[in-house]
Amino acid sequence: MSLSMRGRGGRGGGRGGGVRSLPRPSPTILRAMDDSMPISSAASFLVAPAESAFAAGDSEAGEAALWDIWNQVVEYASQTPAHELDRVIEVLKAVADLEEPATFEIWGKQATWKQLPLLGPAIRESWDDGI
């Protein structure tokens, strides 16, 4: 049971009082959060699918990739004890420092990595879904 793009209704668990099994983090998120990978490399690796799509001028594919990436990050962070979140924070800071592509389009507007585009909506969606 993994998080995907918007409109994840029907994924079960959560608010009904039942026990919800937690999904295993994807190999991508596990590798990016592995301390053996340098932070800057982890940031580039994490957003590579979105970066490639934006560089090719495919905003729709880039946006879809970002939703998937951020949902994975949010899910991983929600399963990680607060005192162990340093790596997540450092990788997100490194994503914000990425320079290529310099700008890309999200929801019809120019965006940069500095803005961590779509991360806020992904977090909000997870709150709404009761993660």
3-state secondary structure of 75: helix
State pLDDT tens for residues 24-43.
Answer: 889 999 999 999 999 999 99
Main-chain dihedrals φ then ψ at residue 109, nearest 5 degrees: -125, 150
Average pLDDT, the chain: 85
Cβ pair 101, 51 in contact under 8 A: yes
Of the candidates 121, 101, 125, 120, the residue with the CA atom closest to the CA atom of residue 111: 101
pTM recorded for the entire structure: 0.79
Residue extents of the structural domains in the chain: 27-128
User: Taking residues 55-68, what's their average pLDDT?
Assistant: 94
7-21, 32-46, 79-93: the lowest-pLDDT one: 7-21
Torsion of CA 123, 127, 128, 131, to 10 degrees: 110
State pLDDT tens for residues 68-84.
Answer: 999 999 999 999 999 99
